[in-house]
Structure 1
Amino acid sequence: MLAEQKVRHLDATALIATVLDPGSYRSWDKPVTDPDPDPAYRAELAAAREKSGVDESVLTGEGLIRGRRVAVIVSEFRFLAGSIGAAAAERIVLAVERATAEGLPLLAGPASGGTRMQEGTLAFLSMIKITAAVRAHRQTGFPYLVYLRHPTTGGVMASWGSLGHITVAEPAALLGFLGPRVYEALHGKPFPENVQVAENLFDKGLVDAVVPPGQLPDIVNRALNILSPGAPAPVGPPPTLGVAPSDAGAWTSIEISRNPRRPDLRQLLAYGARDVLPLNGTGQGEKDPGLLLALARFGEKSCVVLGHSRPRPSQQTAMGPASLREARRGMRLAEELGLPLLTVIDTGGAALSKEAEEGGLAGEIARSLHDLIGLQSPSVSVLLGQGAGGGALALLPADRTVAAQHAWLSPLPPEGASAIVHRSTEFAPAMSASQGVNVAALHANGLIDHIVDERPDAALEARAFCRRMGQAIEYELSLVSASGIGELIPRRLGKYANLGRRLRA
């Protein structure tokens, strides 16, 4: 049982020593000014200072993580359960503002019972000014990373503990809004076991990973390699720019794309990218295996990646509405962090189920199209394999589109189109040809800008194919990133408005 695990939890000083490079920490803290406390509270503060060895419930400062300068805010739970009063709130806000002013990524490590009850409503309201400071930091495009420690509850979990671009948690940490002791006092029964536990929050898509403190420097380093990589070197044109569409028929390409051994998005990231950092879920209680979300670098070019996850054996991963809500998390990250967005299309179709309909799949497809066509970041889409129906369309709009030679895009799987027109699936091959679903037709109509060859089938050369695709992606990301968003959006809108016109002219 998760609730029975015994884990040693680090105090603030030990966490700082574990995460930052040795000897690099410099405190930003100035002596605190206590509110005008009554004698009992004054005694509590004195006892807390003696017990914890620190003057308040948070420590702030800066240090290096793998040589990179980072600001840190870390709770000390031994100081009145890490609770946040006026002095602690002011210390947090000043640290966030300084990190913003100095252009530093910020790592927060909360461990707190929430608002300090001894200071009442004004302490409670301080969560608003902390949130405002974090919002300003995020809006500048500087990374805000959160490591949720045991325990984090109440107003801290409901403010600066839940606003990370990336959020990871300590193993077996108690994490939730209402503390279990408060729940039992109010309701007369214990809170259900293993709900407010880090591992359960990961399963529900609320945190991106669960890692012990010793692994946190690696996670932060990988994240910052992607989010703050420095100026990339110019990217020269890859050999794939000269690749022509395959002369194979549409049905041949469809059959090739359905090979279970065909490289998927996981393999593309493994062989074609570097510094990959998977993210997990919507951050709002949903996680759908039909979509993969990550931060990655292709060559020297960083991006947010979201795309279809091909089903594993015994797993159903057709894209449902939660997948698209997770995709929209990726879109927001790209816009806020100033990164290009890469979408990867490889789906036999969206989920067809009662749950998908009641979850609003059609509306989520519409909102995804709406957000992508107006995305305030450069974007590249990749047709990697199958591209059936609204599930494929939902991730397609982009400034540039790359396609594998045997990818395809269709309103329905060809068998479905055949059933509608001929009341039989046997005309699927003919329907695929007449509908213009293959790369040759899509390229001729102006959708596809760059084709990556298969020699002769990506399933037979997965690593080499993924490397070629990775080079093509790096080039396209570099190309779109060279233009301002004021140029990109009108050009993007014009691309889709003009599809097919070159053949009608």
Structure 2
Amino acid sequence: MSAGPVATAARPVRLDAAGLIEAVLDAGSFRSWDTAPVQPASASPEYLAELEAAAAKSGTDESVITGEGLIRGRRVAVIVSEFRFLAGSIGQAAAARITAAIERATTERLPLLAGPASGGTRMQEGTLAFLGMVTITDAVRRHKAAGLPYLVYLRHPTTGGVMASWGSLGHITVAEPGALLGFLGPRVYEALHGEPFPEGVQVSENLYRHGIIDAVVPPHELAPVVDRALQVLRPDGGDTAPPAPQTLTVEPSTRDAWSSIELSRNPRRPDLRWLLAAGADVVLPLNGTGEGEKDPGLTLALARFGGQSCIVLGHQRPRHPDAKPMGPGSLREARRGMMLAQDLDLPLLTVIDTPGADLSREAEEGGMAGEIARSLHGLIGLPRPSVAVLLGQGCGGGALALLPADRIIAAQNAWLSPLPPEGASAILYRTTDRAAEIARAQGVEVAALRAAGLIDHIVDERPDAAAEPREFCARMGRAIEYELGRARAIPDAERLHLRRMKFARLGH
């Protein structure tokens, strides 16, 4: 999946429902689930004539097509709007068709791909059509509650009640380039206010920039994106028992705490980007909170390490020294990761590598302290398996916010402390000159953390991860695969108690 908006032509080609199905599903695999629509008994002759004309124009009997097919050999349910049928509007018959398809997908335990393109609910049917969005939303809720993937591909245009219901509930949501997407139809806004709606707001690329959708993807690239998602969400053969890695016998580094801190601050040290590129087998990046916020300080992704699938959320080292530190928006994005793990019944992997959270007026006004608290609350009580990785720097509340987990892995030169040692030195001695002494005294290094009972697994650096980034990340990837399997093996009835006791007994 593209990491961001793709370049598009001024007037991109828009596919109808049949064209999208042909572009995304394996050739010849589509099977329709549709039966003849039953229109409202109260439909006027004029409205019935409109329906007849719409069917002739579009070649479909309603504004949606439902059915199933294969994507790279995997069985998938699909719901696709036909915009040429009364602007893809949803009346009672269309709502019933959508609901029936979602319920069938749930019963047959199929992942569901929705491709809306609609002006919203059908004005000719009034309030009853409008209320159909409640029934559709409930069907989506039940599908997700069953632990089944719901994937959304927003097409041009998607507005009104469709965007405000089944168009905005995807576990993963991508959109076609240049698509008009929004709650408010521009024509309605202009009629109400006497002026056009501002340009560039309700466009897929702008929604990506604001963290509302995960990517902008042309139709011909959608199948590979769905395939990658399903490799994580619905792997062939399920999750397999991981082999024991050689790192199980690795001991802490003999370096002192300050030496590890200095190594961890090397800008060439492999970060989360390196880990996903060299340590994971499948990665699908996600984007933002889905609620209009995006902070570059955190990466969220679906990933598969060997035979183990997971949700990944972790600190992302800035590419430039003057980049802003991790802000409160990062932890709101982290909560999305926790929700995905819960919804999709997947383990959660957190990756810690931060010099500290943002210390600014903006962070305070954005609720940084509360976001750290809510992240801790969510992780310590997460019912799903969890693994945390101390990859490098582990400083302050920003590190603590991603730490609670069933199993904890550390790189040999990682560390964890309440403040940068320079800050602790300034507090205690009114000078930063004693930072190295403070680091040693506080027990921030892996040897002390393991002795205290926090670290379960150490990944060696030979002798420094920056000198062998790809090899180090490959070893870390195998350790992650193994520990994800260990975490999954913990009985659900014991998980929260054992996690709580891990932290309650530290140092005893």
State TM-score, norm by structure 2.
0.97
| Equivalent residue letter for 1:487 | E
Determine if the alignment matches structure 1 residue 11 to structure 2 residue 16.
yes
> What pairs with 1:320-399 in structure 2 (closer than 5 Å)?
320-399=327-406
* TM superposition shift of 1:483: 2.2
The one-letter code matched in structure 2 to 1:124 is: F
User: Residue 484 of structure 1: CA displacement?
Assistant: 2.6
Query: 2:242: which partner in 1?
Result: 235
- Tell me the amino acid that sits aligned with residue 468 of structure 1: R
The answer to whether 1:418 aligns with 2:425 is yes
* Distance in 1 between residues matched to 2:332 and 2:116, nearest whole Å: 27
**Aligned residue number for residue 62 of structure 1:** 68
What whole-Å deviation, never above 9, does each CA across 1:433-467 have from its counterpart, x for those lacking one?
A: 00000000000000000000000000000000000
Partner of 1:435: 442
Unaligned regions of 5+ residues in structure 1, if any?
none
For the pair 1:73 / 2:50, whether they are aligned, the reply is no
Q: CA deviation at 1:163?
A: 0.3
Partner residue in 2 for 1:271 = 278
User: What amino acid is the match of 1:15?
Assistant: L
What is the letter of the counterpart of residue 474 of structure 2?
R
- Report whether the alignment pairs 1:221 with 2:243: no
Q: CA deviation at 1:482?
A: 1.5
Query: Residue 426 of structure 1 aligns to a residue in which SS?
Result: coil
Q: Is 1:131 the counterpart of 2:106 in the alignment? A: no
Please say if residues 239 and 309 of structure 2, whose CA atoms lie closer than 8 Å, have aligned partners that are also in contact.
no
Equivalent position amino acid for 2:334 in 1? A
Partner in structure 1 of residue 126 of structure 2? 120
1:3 CA displacement: 11
- Distance in structure 1 (CA, Å) of the matches to 2:384 and 2:472: 27
SS of alignment partner, residue 499 of structure 1: coil
Matched ranges for 1:485-496 at <5 A: 485-496=492-503
Query: Structure 1, residues 89-139: CA drift from partner, whole Å, max 9, x if none?
Result: 000000000000000000000000001000000100000000000000000
Contact 2:8–2:177 under 8 Å retained in 1: no
1:107 aligns with 2:113: yes
Distance (whole Å) between structure 2 residues aligned to residue 233 and residue 301 of structure 1:
7
CA–CA separation in structure 2 for the residues paired with 1:3 and 1:27: 32
Q: Is the 8 A contact 2:77 2:111 kept in 1?
A: yes
1:153 aligns with 2:153: no
Structure 2 CA distance, aligned partners of 1:96 and 1:432?
56
The C-alpha deviation readout for 1:21-51, integer Å capped at 9, x for no partner, is 0000000000011113112111111110000
* CA distance 1:315–1:156, shift in 2 (3 Å): farther
1:86 paired with 2:92, answer yes
Contact 2:241-2:307 within 8 A present in 1 as well: no
Aligned-partner residue type, residue 429 of structure 2: H
Matched AA of 2:155: R
Shift of 1:487: 1.4
- List per-residue Cα deviations over 1:302-358 (Å, max 9, x = no partner): 000000000102551411110000000000000110000000000000001111000
1:3–1:197 CA contact under 8 A, matched in 2? no
Match of 2:38 in 1: 33
Distance of 2:12 and 2:195 partners within structure 1 = 25
3-state SS of the aligned residue for 1:329?
A: helix
Residue identity opposite 1:310 in structure 2: R
1:236-255 alignment runs, 5 A limit: 236-255=243-262
Alignment partners' CA distance in 1, 2:104 and 2:170:
18
C-alpha contact 1:127 1:155 (8 A) present in aligned 2: yes
Cα separation, 2, equivalents of 1:67 and 1:353: 50
CA–CA distance in 2 between the matches of 1:401 and 1:278? Answer: 23
- Whole-angstrom distance in 2 between the partners of 1:163 and 1:484: 30
> Quick one: distance in 2 between partners of 1:46 and 1:192?
36
Query: 2:393 aligns to what SS in structure 1?
Result: strand
In structure 2, the residue corresponding to 1:207 is in which secondary structure? coil
Q: Residue type matched to 1:174 in 2? A: L
Structure 2 distance, partners of 1:232, 1:314, is 40
Which consecutive unaligned segments of at least 5 residues does structure 2 have?
1-6
Contact conserved, 2:117 with 2:154, CA < 8 A, in 1?
A: yes
Partner letter of residue 209 of structure 1? A
Q: Distance in 2 between matches of 1:255 and 1:84?
A: 60
Tell which deviates more after alignment, 226-235 or 397-406: 226-235
Q: 2:265 is matched with which residue?
A: 258
Measure the CA separation in 1 of the matches of 2:441 and 2:265: 20
Distance 2:336 2:280 in 1: 21
Matched residue of 1:365: which SS? helix
Kept after mapping to 2: 8 A contact 1:265/1:309: yes
1:169 aligns with 2:175: yes
Query: Secondary structure of 2:248's match?
Result: helix
Shift of 1:415: 0.5
Q: Which residue of 1 aligns with 2:456?
A: 449
Once the two structures are superposed, residues 163-200 of structure 1 have per-residue CA deviations (whole angstroms, 9 ceiling, x without a partner) of: 00000000000000001000000111100000000000
2-side partners of 1:235 and 1:59: how far apart?
Answer: 41
TM-score normalised to structure 1 length: 0.98
SS at match of 2:458: strand
Kindly provide the amino acid, as one letter, of the partner of residue 454 in structure 1: E
**Structure 2: distance between partners of 1:234 and 1:270:** 22
- Alignment pair present for 1:210 and 2:216: yes
In 2: Cα distance, 1:118 partner to 1:314 partner: 58
Aligned residues: CA RMSD: 1.0
Task: Measure, in 2, the Cα distance between the counterparts of 1:232 and 1:134.
Answer: 26
* 1:9 partner SS: coil
Instruction: Measure, in 2, the Cα distance between the counterparts of 1:485 and 1:184.
Output: 54
Deviations 1:417-444 (A, max 9, x none): 0010011100000000000000000000
> Does 2:489 match 1:482?
yes
Query: Structure 1, residues 379-421: CA drift from partner, whole Å, max 9, x if none?
Result: 0000000000000000000000000000000000000000100
Contact 1:174–1:197 (8 Å) recurs in 2? yes
Residue 235 of structure 1: CA displacement? 1.4
Read off the aligned partner of 2:56 and give its amino acid letter.
E
Deviations for 1:241-265, whole angstroms, at most 9, x for unmatched residues?
A: 1111011000000000000000000
Is contact 1:310-1:317 (8 Å) kept? no
Task: Tell me the amino acid that sits aligned with residue 204 of structure 2.
Answer: A
1:259 is paired with a residue of what secondary structure? Answer: coil
SS at match of 1:425: coil
